[in-house]
């Protein structure tokens, strides 16, 4: 069955969808995106995703083609048309199509595309078994707080992980972990959860914010600060968070095996709590 996708105001089958070769997303990665998870046919934390989309747009002086309220209406319509029960909705806004020139075009209309992906988010093998990560240099640009479609560095990091027989990569800059290739990274040592503080160096994860709220509610100890790979190797457990993983335990970091190769207790507790909370809303 062909999916229905959204392209600039139209709902069309995926083989009918068209975007210009002059689109600046294609030519310059001049665009931003969001990924919202879907559980029981509902978008999770969508208001926060739309608020971050607006912030990313403002940071790049990119006009959204319509209000975030109208974008949400289109998201819900797309969800309904595809009847997705569990998975993700991907949304991308670019500065639009114009003759190739580096500066902002004066009359281009921003492009907005969206599609859904069915995925088992709750019953995922990675969540049950945990994932292995490798460390790679963080070669991304300096504004990782803006969720741009400029994702070649994460693509190379993830591919390096696959070639090394791992599932993902943790990015390291000046000796400290910034984040995962497409998720936020955490270690746990002596009951303290450690994750990098918010700055331009990392994406301000929507799942991170929700999980840190749970950490507080549960009275768990938290340190928001940079940590080294050595600390990661010596940690009791580790995990990552994102809209498409929720909380995934990490059981191996480079050659260091975490929590005897099994998902850690705190990681699994936070995963369970996150899913319970998401299903409530």
Instruction: Note the residues at the interface with ligand PDD (CB under 6 A).
Output: 35, 179, 182-184, 203, 205-208, 241-244
Q: How far is the CB of 48 from ligand PDD (least distance, A)?
A: 8
Q: Which residues of 156-179 are buried (b: 16+ CB within 10 A; e: fewer)?
A: ebbeebeeeebbbbbbbbeebbbb
Q: How far is the CB of 208 from ligand PDD (least distance, A)?
A: 6
Q: How far is the CB of 245 from ligand PDD (least distance, A)?
A: 8
Euclidean distance between CA atoms 147 and 69, whole angstroms: 19
CA nearest neighbour of 179 among 123, 235, 226, 114: 226
Q: At a CB cut-off of 8 Å and minimum separation 6, what does 21 contact?
A: none
Q: With respect to ligand PDD, which residue has the nearer C-beta, 150 or 184?
A: 184
Q: With respect to ligand PDD, which residue has the nearer C-beta, 6 or 33?
A: 33
Residue 63 burial by Cβ neighbours in a 10 Å radius (0-12, 13-18, 19+): middle
Q: With respect to ligand PDD, which residue has the nearer C-beta, 52 or 252?
A: 52
Q: With respect to ligand PDD, which residue has the nearer C-beta, 23 or 168?
A: 168
Among this protein's residues, is 18 annotated catalytic?
A: no
Q: With respect to ligand PDD, which residue has the nearer C-beta, 108 or 203?
A: 203
Spot the catalytic one: 119, 147, 252, 272: 147
Contacts for 22-27 with beta carbons within 8 Å, 24 or more apart? 22/97, 22/98, 22/99, 22/100, 23/94, 23/96, 23/97, 23/111, 24/94, 24/95, 24/96, 24/97, 24/98, 24/105, 24/108, 25/92, 25/94, 25/95, 25/111, 25/149, 26/94, 27/100
Q: With respect to ligand PDD, which residue has the nearer C-beta, 88 or 251?
A: 88
Euclidean distance between CA atoms 203 and 30, whole angstroms: 17
- Residues acting as catalytic residues: 147
């Amino acid at each position: 069955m062909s999916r229905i996708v959204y392209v600039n105001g139209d709902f069309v089958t995926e083989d009918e969808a068209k975007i210009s070769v002059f689109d600046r997303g294609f030519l310059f990665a001049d665009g931003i995106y969001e990924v919202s998870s879907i559980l029981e046919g509902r978008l999770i934390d969508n208001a926060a995703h739309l608020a971050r989309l607006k912030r990313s747009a403002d940071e790049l002086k990119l006009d959204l083609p319509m209000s975030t309220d109208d974008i949400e209406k289109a998201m819900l319509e797309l969800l309904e048309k595809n009847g997705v029960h569990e998975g993700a909705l991907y949304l991308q806004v670019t500065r639009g199509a114009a003759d190739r020139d580096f500066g902002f075009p004066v009359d281009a209309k921003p492009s907005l595309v969206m599609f859904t992906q069915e995925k088992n988010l709750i019953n995922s093998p990675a969540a049950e078994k945990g994932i292995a990560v490798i460390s790679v240099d963080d070669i991304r640009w300096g504004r990782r707080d803006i969720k741009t479609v400029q994702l070649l560095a994460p693509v190379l990091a993830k591919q390096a992980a696959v070639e090394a027989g791992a599932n993902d990569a943790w990015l390291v800059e000046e000796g400290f972990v910034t984040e995962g290739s497409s998720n936020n990274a955490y270690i746990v040592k002596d009951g303290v959860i450690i994750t990098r503080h918010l700055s331009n160096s990392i994406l301000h994860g929507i799942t991170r914010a929700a999980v840190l709220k749970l950490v507080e509610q549960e009275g768990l100890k938290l340190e928001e600060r940079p940590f080294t790979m050595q600390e990661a190797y010596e940690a009791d457990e580790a995990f990552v968070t994102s809209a498409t993983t929720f909380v995934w335990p990490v059981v191996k970091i480079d050659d260091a095996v975490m929590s005897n190769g099994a998902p850690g207790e705190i990681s699994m507790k936070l995963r369970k709590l996150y899913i319970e909370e998401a299903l409530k809303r």
